[in-house]
Amino acid sequence: MKSSLIKTSDGSYTIYSKKYSQNFHNTKDGALSESLNKHIIPSFAYHKNKKTLNILDICFGLGYNSLATIYYIIKSDLDISVNIYSPELDIKLIRSLKDFIYPKEFDIFKDMIIQLSQNLKYKDKRCSITIYNQDAREYISNCDIKFDIVYQDPFSSDVNHSLWTKEYFGLIKHILNDDAIITTYAISTPIRLSLYFNNLYIYEYKSPQTLKQTIAFTKKQTNLPKEYKYIDMELKQQRNPLAKPLLDILT
C-alpha cells in the first residue's frame, strides 16, 4: 500500500481508488482534518448532551471517520460511548489496513486497527466498531438500529450514484432517530434535493479548516452557530424549476 500513498495537506495520507478513479479524501482539506472538521466535530457539538451515540459510517474505507471519532472522544475527554456500524464492500482493503500509514494521532489504535482488519470488529468500554462486508444499501435495508449520526462519505455521485439518490436517503431516513444529523462533503443541488425530499432540513456548514459542506437534520434548527447557513430548498426549486433530486432510475 505504501506505493499508492498520497500525502494530504495536514500531513496525513490517503490513497487513490482505481475502481472509482478518485482519492479517498480531499487532499486540500487533509484526510484527518476532513474527518474531524466535516464529520466528527459538528456531529458531537450537536449531540453534546447525549451519553451514548449510534453512528452509521458510510463507507468504512480507510477508517478515518471511525478512528477519528474515538480519537476526538479521548482528546476532548468526553464522557460518552459510541457504537459505530460501517458497511464496506472492499474486504481486501480492510485486510490491508494493518499496514497502512496512519497519522501519529492514531498510534494508540494499533491493536484496534489490527482487530478490525482481521475480525471486522472491535470493542472496549468506550466504543464498539463493526464493519459489514456488504453493499451499503443492502445493509441499510435490513438494519433495525436507530442512528443519531450518519457520516455520509462514499465516493461521489458521479461514480457511485446509488448512494446519493432520493430513494437511498429514504432508506436512511427510516433508520434515523428523531434528532439525527447527517454530515457530508457534497454540496450539489441535486444531492441536497435528494435529502430535502425525505423531509430533512438542509444547512451549509463551513469550518475554518475545510471547504463548505452539507449537513442535514431531521428537525429544523434554531440558534445554530454562525458557521451554519439554512438552505431554503423550496425557494431554490422555485428559482430553478429544472432542478431535480438524484433518482435510482436515471432520466
pLDDT computed for residue 139 by the predictor: 98
Sheet strands side by side (includes 13-17): 5-7, 13-17, 22-23
Reply yes or no: is the peptide bond before residue 143 cis, omega within 30 of 0: no
pLDDT computed for residue 47 by the predictor: 97
Number of domains in the chain: 1
pLDDT computed for residue 71 by the predictor: 98
Mean pLDDT of 154-182: 98
Question: What's the pTM value of the predicted model, to 2 decimals?
Answer: 0.96
* C-beta separation of 130 from 120 below 8 A: yes
- pLDDT tens profile 83-113: 999 999 999 999 999 999 999 999 999 999 9
What does the DSSP 8-state code read for residue 102?
-
Nearest one of 6, 117, 110, 24 to 65, comparing CA atoms: 24
In this structure, which amino acid lies at residue 76?
A: S
pLDDT computed for residue 249 by the predictor: 87
Domain assignment present for 23: no
In this structure, which amino acid lies at residue 232?
A: D
User: Three-state DSSP class for 45?
Assistant: helix
Per the structure block, which three cell numbers stand in for 154? Answer: 462514499
* Residue where the block lists cell 453534546: 48
Domain assignment present for 3: no
Q: What is the CATH number of the domain that holds 156?
A: 3.40.50.150
pLDDT computed for residue 96 by the predictor: 97
221 sits in which H/E element: none
**pLDDT of 209 strictly over 90:** no
pLDDT above 90 covers a percentage of the chain that reads: 94
CA–centroid distance for 7 within its chain: 21
- pLDDT tens profile 73-84: 999 999 999 999
Domain assignment present for 21: no
* C-beta separation of 183 from 215 below 8 A: yes
Domain assignment present for 1: no
* C-beta separation of 48 from 82 below 8 A: no
Domain assignment present for 75: yes
* C-beta separation of 59 from 153 below 8 A: yes
* pLDDT confidence tier of residue 208, bands split at 50, 70 and 90: confident
**pLDDT of 251 strictly over 60:** no
pLDDT computed for residue 211 by the predictor: 87
**pLDDT of 169 strictly over 60:** yes
Domain assignment present for 217: yes
pLDDT computed for residue 172 by the predictor: 98
* pLDDT confidence tier of residue 1, bands split at 50, 70 and 90: low
Question: Which residues form the domain of 150?
Answer: 29-239
Per the structure block, which three cell numbers stand in for 167? Answer: 430513494
**pLDDT of 215 strictly over 70:** yes
Domain assignment present for 244: no
Domain assignment present for 81: yes
